[in-house]
C-alpha cells in the first residue's frame, strides 16, 4: 500500500514538473512575442475557444482579445500548441503571399489523424502536386462542363421534393442535404438517395470529431468521429474500386468526374494516387464541397427573407437571364458573369456572415512583423471577421450594402 502511494506521489510530482517545464517560455524569452496569454498549462485557452465556437461567437473570442491588447495580433495556446491569432489586410498579405516560404498550411492533430494524407494535410512538394491535380475541377471551364448540369438537375428535384407546397421547413438541414447531393453527383456521379443520406449522417459525426480534442476512448467526440470516418472510407473504397473496374471495362468515362480524373491522371512525376489517398481526398472534398456552401446558402436565404427590396432586385436579374435561355437549356459561365448584383449580394452575405471563420498556418521560420516575432513552429490563425468588419475598408461595416 505504501509503495502504491509512493508511486502515485512520484507520478504527480513528475507530472507537475513536466507541466511547469513545458509552460516556461525559455526558448522564446529573448524574443518580443505578441501580447496575450497562454492560459492554463497544456490546456491553454482551448476550453474558452471551443465554447466560443460552439456558441457561434468565434469572432468575439478574437475581437475581445485584440481590443484588450490593442493590436491585430495576440498570442494564445490552443490544442496544446502556441498560437498567434492575426487579422487585417497586412497580415493576410503576409500569409497568402508567403506560402511554402515562411508559412505552410496546418491542420489540428484530429483532422490529420481522421483524414490521413490528402490535399489539405500533405505538405511540401507532395501537397502542391496533389492540389494541382485537383485544381482543374475548380475552374470556370470545369464548372460549365461538369457541374452546371448536375446542379440544375439536383436543384429542380430538390425544390419539387422538399420546398414545393410546404408552408414551413427547416432550411439548414434541407440545404445541407441539397449541397451534399450536388457534391456527390459532381465528384463521384453518385445518384442513390439512400447512399447519400447514409454518408451525410456519418459526415456530421466526422465533423464533430474534427472539432474536438484527440482523446480516443468511448464517449469522446474524437472516438465517434474516428468510427464514422472509418465507415465513410469503407463506403468510398467500394465506390473507387467499382469505378476502376468500370474504367477498365470502358463503361465509365475518364473525364466524367473528379473520381475518374484522379484514377487515370498521374502527377508531374508520373506517379498515380493510391486508392487510399484518393479516398482521403474525396472525403476532404465532399466535406469542403458541401459544408461551407450549406452555411452560405442558408445565410443568403435569411438575408433575402429579411430584405424584400434586395430579394426583388435579385429576382429581376435572375428572370432577365432566364428569359434569354431556351426551355431546358443549361446556364453557361457567361450567364454566371451576368449575375453581378446577385454576386454582390452573395459577397456581402459572406462578408457579414462568413461560412469560413479563418484558416491555419504553421511558421516555417521566425516571422518578424508588426514589431513582434512569431517563432518558428508556432501556429497562426487568421480571422476573416477582423478584415470584414474593418471600418477603414468597409465604412458603416455592420450595414448590409450590396453596392460596395
Per-residue pLDDT of 199-245, as tens digits, reads: 999 999 998 898 787 888 999 999 999 999 999 999 999 999 999 99
- Write out the three cell numbers for 27: 526558448
Residue-by-residue DSSP string for 74-122: EEEEETTEEEEEEESHHHHHHHHT-BTTTEEE---HHHHHHH-SSTTT-
Q: What percent of the chain has pLDDT over 70?
A: 92
Cell numbers of 29, please? 524569452
Question: Which of 15-19, 205-209, 250-254 has the weakest average pLDDT?
Answer: 15-19
d(CA 109, CA 107): 7
Question: Residue 61 burial (CB < 10 Å; 0-12/13-18/19+)?
Answer: buried
- Cβ–Cβ under 8 Å, residues 173 and 141: no
> Would you call 16 helix, strand, or coil by DSSP?
helix
Environment class of residue 379 by beta-carbon count within 10 Å: exposed (0-12), middle (13-18) or buried (19+)?
buried
Hey, what CATH topology would domain 132-306 get? Answer: Cytochrome p450 (1.10.630)
* C-alpha cell read off for 49: 475557444
Return the SS3 of 64.
helix
Residue pLDDT, tens place only, 29-45: 577 999 999 998 878 89
Backbone angles phi, psi at 256, to 5 degrees: -75, -25
Measured CA to CA, the distance from residue 253 to residue 250 in angstroms comes to 7
Q: Which CATH number is associated with domain 29-127+356-388?
A: 3.30.43.20
Question: Could you tell me whether strands 358-363 and 103-105 are parallel, antiparallel, or unpaired per DSSP bridges?
Answer: antiparallel
User: Any idea what DSSP says for residue 286?
Assistant: H
Q: Is the torsion defined by CA of 182, 188, 190, 196 positive or negative?
A: negative
What's the length of the chain?
Answer: 404
HSE value, Cβ hemisphere, 13 Å, CA-based, for 77: 15
Domain boundaries of the chain, sorted by first residue: 29-127+356-388, 132-306
Asked whether residue 374 carries a pLDDT value surpassing 90, the answer given is yes
Residue 272 CA to residue 262 CA, distance in Å, equals: 8
Using an 8 Å Cβ cutoff, are 385 and 63 in contact? yes
Say if residue 305's pLDDT is above 80.
yes
Domains 29-127+356-388 and 132-306 share a fold: no
Q: pTM of the predicted model, to two decimals? A: 0.83
Amino acid at each position: 500500500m505504501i509503495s502504491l502511494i509512493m508511486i502515485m506521489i512520484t507520478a504527480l510530482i513528475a507530472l507537475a514538473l513536466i507541466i511547469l517545464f513545458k509552460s516556461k517560455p525559455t526558448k522564446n524569452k529573448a524574443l518580443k512575442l505578441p501580447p496575450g496569454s497562454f492560459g492554463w498549462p497544456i490546456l491553454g485557452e482551448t476550453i474558452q475557444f471551443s465554447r466560443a465556437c460552439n456558441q457561434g461567437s468565434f469572432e468575439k473570442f478574437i475581437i475581445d482579445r485584440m481590443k484588450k491588447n490593442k493590436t491585430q495580433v495576440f498570442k494564445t495556446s490552443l490544442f496544446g500548441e502556441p498560437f498567434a491569432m492575426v487579422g487585417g489586410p497586412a497580415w493576410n498579405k503576409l500569409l497568402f503571399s508567403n506560402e511554402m516560404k515562411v508559412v505552410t498550411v496546418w491542420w489540428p492533430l484530429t483532422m490529420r489523424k481522421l483524414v490521413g494524407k490528402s490535399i489539405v494535410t500533405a505538405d511540401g512538394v507532395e501537397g502542391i502536386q496533389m492540389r494541382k491535380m485537383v485544381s482543374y475541377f475548380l475552374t470556370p471551364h470545369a464548372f460549365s462542363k461538369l457541374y452546371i448540369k448536375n446542379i440544375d438537375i439536383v436543384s429542380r428535384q430538390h425544390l419539387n421534393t422538399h420546398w414545393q407546397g410546404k408552408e414551413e421547413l427547416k432550411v439548414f438541414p434541407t440545404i445541407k442535404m441539397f449541397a451534399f447531393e450536388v457534391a456527390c453527383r459532381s465528384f463521384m456521379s453518385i445518384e442513390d438517395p439512400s447512399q447519400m443520406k447514409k454518408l451525410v449522417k456519418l459526415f456530421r459525426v466526422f465533423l464533430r470529431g474534427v472539432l474536438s480534442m484527440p482523446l480516443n476512448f468511448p464517449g469522446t467526440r474524437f472516438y465517434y468521429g474516428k468510427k464514422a470516418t472509418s465507415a465513410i472510407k469503407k463506403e468510398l473504397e467500394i465506390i473507387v474500386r467499382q469505378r476502376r473496374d468500370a474504367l477498365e471495362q470502358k463503361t465509365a468515362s475518364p473525364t466524367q468526374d473528379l473520381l475518374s480524373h484522379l484514377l487515370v491522371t498521374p502527377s508531374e512525376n508520373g506517379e498515380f494516387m493510391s486508392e487510399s489517398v484518393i479516398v482521403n481526398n474525396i472525403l476532404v472534398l465532399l466535406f469542403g464541397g458541401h459544408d461551407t456552401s450549406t452555411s452560405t446558402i442558408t445565410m443568403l436565404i435569411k438575408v433575402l427573407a429579411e430584405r424584400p427590396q434586395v430579394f426583388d432586385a435579385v429576382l429581376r436579374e435572375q428572370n432577365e437571364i432566364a428569359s434569354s435561355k431556351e426551355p431546358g437549356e443549361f446556364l453557361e459561365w457567361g450567364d454566371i458573369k451576368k449575375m453581378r448584383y446577385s454576386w454582390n449580394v452573395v459577397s456581402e452575405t459572406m462578408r457579414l456572415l462568413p461560412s469560413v471563420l479563418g484558416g491555419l498556418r504553421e511558421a516555417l521560420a521566425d516571422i518578424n512583423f508588426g514589431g513582434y516575432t512569431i517563432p518558428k513552429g508556432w501556429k497562426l490563425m487568421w480571422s476573416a471577421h477582423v478584415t470584414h468588419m474593418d471600418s477603414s475598408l468597409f465604412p458603416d461595416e455592420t450595414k448590409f450594402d450590396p453596392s460596395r
